[in-house]
Structure 1
Amino acid sequence: MKRFVFGAVSCTFILAVNSLYSSSDDVIELTPTNFNSEVIQSDSLWLVEFYAPWCGHCQRLTSDWKKAATALKGVVKVGAVDADKHQSLGGQYGVGGFPTIKVFGSNKNKPEDYQGGRTSDAIVDAALSALQSLVKDRLGGRRGYDSGRQGGRENGAGSKKDVIELNDDNFDKTVLNSDDVWLVEFFAPWCGHCKNLEPEWAAAATEVKEQTKGKIKLAAVDATVNQMLTSRYGIRGFPTIKIFQKGEDPIDYDGGRSKADIVTRALDLFSESAPPPELLEIINESILTKTCEDHQLCIISVLPHILDTGAAGRNSYLEVILKLADKYKKKMWGWVWTEAGAQLDLEKSLGIGGFGYPAMAAINSRKMKFALLKGSFSEQGINEFLRELSFGRGSTSPVGGGALPKIYILEPWDGKDGELPAEDDIDLSDVELDDFGKDEL
């Protein structure tokens, strides 16, 4: 009798170990036999735990998993797979440890890894969040950047037109051989975080393209389809964003995931990689017009006449301007200069001259307003002036006449010292100087 009782107790213990859940629970037991019909072909959102009966973490999760299943009953399906017994099913979804929880949402063939807490409250919150994403996807008809291709993300209404789609075949030619800087997102279509990032990434791509003239590009790779790239760059989670610059190893993007964060990082990369802005001499109307119209601000310097400074003096001024232009290059301002007296209408419209030369002004051609440098024309003085401009501070005045003034066509400076104009010789050989003296007397 004792042996029978012992055997019964032993049998009960083995069953308990081999089955963390029973038919009386709201957790649905899944096997290779019913997994496809229950989960894959279902329109419902599923949370599925892959567990091993001997796993201590799995055993501790059991109570909370049951509570979550009961709370979500009729709203979200909660299931469990004994992946120790059904190793083929666990292997199909890359289960390498226990417990592993996966979220089967809109794309049942590409479930998302659950990354939340292991309490019933956390599980329920995550389920409801995933359910909300699923409903919004259905409402908007979205699946990703390119819905017409397997594994892609829909390109809805052209809103993602500036996100460049990359794959195993075009990556090296498009990115690695490019002189531009690339921010590349490696995503999975089923990933909730990727879906949240998608509109921010698309909006940032458009703004970055505009502000950097296409020199910084945002792209996307479906990591579930392009396994070669995924393996080459060690992509282990989604979304992963990497920065590619020609001749350098890729680096991880570790900034925020909002449009503003992405744009800020892209502009920093642009300023780091961009050459110094050009400093153009105003020798015709198109130079001033294009510089001012193509940039938020155009910085105009009026340098002393070449006869007052010589080539060495002028070059020292130009070097200071170029140094500051490089420092503020991420502002993408335009930079021009002229010689005192060469463009008098321009000087008059900006009120230049009253403070002497050299002088500097900044024009906002869209508002037709300008700010004038009141401090010294030195690296420190100009830096303070430009810093105030960068913060949107400083007093401004309307451009005289309400428009850019007439610009005269000039020959560009040849880089040499100035020469005094030649004077005509006066022939006094036929003048009797003594006669002048007599007349005076």
Structure 2
Amino acid sequence: MRFTSAFALLGLAASAMLVKAEEAAAAAPSDVQVLTEKNFADVVPKENLILVEFYAPWCGHCKALAPEYEIAATELKAEIPMAKVDCTVETKLCQDQGVQGYPTLKVFRSGKPVEYNGPRKADGIISYLRKAALPALSEITAADVAAFSQKDKVVVVGVLSKDDKNREALKAVADDLREKYVFAVVDESAAEAQGVKAPAVVLFKSFDEGKNVFEGEFTQASLTEFVKANAVPLVDDIGPDNYQYYMEAGKPLAYLFYDKEEQKAEFEDIKGFAKELKEEANFVYLDANKFGAHAANLGLDDGKWPAFSVQNVQDGSKFPLKKDLTMANIKEHVRGVLSGDVKATLKSEAIPDKQEGPVTVVVGDSYKDVVEDLDKDVLIEFYAPWCGHCKNLAPTYDILGGLYKDSKIVIAKMDATANDLPLGTPFTVPGFPTIKFRKAGSLEYTDYSGNRDIQAFVDFLKENAVNKVDVVVPEVAEKPEEHGHDHAEEEHDHAHEEVAKEAAAETETKPVAAGEVDHDEL
């Protein structure tokens, strides 16, 4: 592609502006505290709650997070401290904290860490930390209910007498879901104002009908189901900030792709249908202008909007609607998926007529025959054609395949953007490359997480394979390929959909030295 000199100058100007913006940001005063090995032990254990980012300056995902992190830190500076650690400098500290990728974020409560799995945008970080700072279950009065119910999008309030044993179940749910929702308990004096009879649990929300009242047996399981079922809108736009909620709900997820707001309006009746099937499925809109590439992951043709598909979030199976897109056909299709009358669509390339290279090529339709041949040990790489780490690994993997060619140890690969795993496969592909190993005689899979050089692979197979094959490792000039993954930020990611790309592990790495790996979640 040719560019005019005007475009070239424009690109240079944009680059210069970007550099100046980054320099200005670096020079600006920061509300993010810098932690080092010298002050970490003095600062972190003394804080009731602190969020710490472990990062590397070269990490692209860290750079993207930085302005959002700063905004959140400024907003929260009087409430909750936020800090960061440069792992290219504080290598020992990061190793001691178990940091394996960048950015890694951890919430420390009085020095005890848990992984931060919240949003990566400023408003999401702020909401997450404010919820985390509250008691798991706040004690409030009847006069507090109205104000407390506005604390977040979803607020759960138990109306229970002080000696009611049902408080134990509510407390257990609050402890488990505290990072997602706000919980409180009030005595029975609030019952009349809320139009309930104690014991009761009321879920307040800023959407749909505004309030739901729990009806059922007070158990942790039933209360958890009640909260999760009512904590998402009947139909909402799905994106990085709410994707994980739908995944955790575990129900089939029906997607309506649109590229204009008018297309959403054409299917206004879908809200009534979603309400009818509220206990069985979730419904979402998806903006095809932002996440259209995800259509291929759901068996749809990218670029043809509006479109509709259902996904079983438990096993990844997909059920695209191939008929005309009408509400009547949508209803018939969803009911057919739920009843089992509509069968899943599985994507597969053609099975190769013969294996040309040293690595066995696997496609969806040949997976069972090749990868689950119980007579053989199998090491399989799931890759994407655009994945930089997969390209870096390819020469090494080809050599490895040649060492075990025609043996009972199979070195295989599958393009996970063009092929689906068979239904029932006991894992998903979280990123590229993902490397799995299965011993002969077993259908259990283990992750390969070692270095990606010939000797490391051979040592792993020597230790773990049932079939023993003596190979001579060639002397080649190679450096270990880093433990990196590429995800859906570039094109389609078979497992981590583009709508989740900020919440799912995304990696762009440099050689592993002193923990230098770039890892991001949404």
Return the TM-score normalized by structure 2: 0.30
Higher helix share: 1
Q: Using CA pairs under 8 Å that are at least 6 residues apart, name the structure with larger relative contact order, 1 or 2.
A: 2
Return the TM-score normalized by structure 1: 0.34
